[in-house]
Amino acid sequence: MEEKYENLLFKILAGIFGFSGLLIIIKTLLSYPKEQAVGESFVAKEFIFPTPIYTFHFKPITLLVIFGFLWWSLGLEGFKKEIEKFPKWIKKLIFIFLATSTFVFAYETLHNFLLWMSFYTIYQGDLDLLTHQINPDTMPKPVNFNFISKMFSMFLAGSLYGIYFFHKLLKE
């Protein structure tokens, strides 16, 4: 019976963090309807949370990444009983897909971080304003490095947690 309440708690928390992430996306996009680079609005402003001990400052992208990861990991844990019922071959396919995703997002995270640091070394200035446009024919706008690097990092962390989760299921 205790596991039932644990799964329900994880589902509720996943819903709260997922909804919070969605609210951040909506508020940020409505606050900055026009941007010069993709993701620029997610690094242009900060949310401030004063507490008696310390005042916390978060860029929307930082909160979105934290809430996105919590939504994913708590959601997996919350739906564990349902996922356990999947046939073993489907769980193995999901594991392989997550392993491939981990490889891709690890490469993209490292690649973007190195480009971001290289651009900063060459051009200096505010790290939050650095953008990159690989091919103007296929990408109408450049992409903000801070935004895309944090997004890829979230996808990498989610893939790694997914591997851990499905590895545990396949061992049982």
Spans of all domains in the chain: 2-171
pLDDT digits (tens, 9 = 90+) for 99-157: 999 999 999 989 888 887 887 788 776 777 777 776 666 677 888 888 888 999 999 99
The one-letter amino acid code at 144 reads N
Burial of 142 (0-12, 13-18, 19+ CB in 10 A): middle
Residue 1 has pLDDT above 70, yes or no: no
Local confidence band at 15 (pLDDT 50, 70, 90 cut-offs): very high
Local confidence band at 83 (pLDDT 50, 70, 90 cut-offs): very high
Distance CA 145, CA 57 (A): 19
Position 122 scores a pLDDT of 80
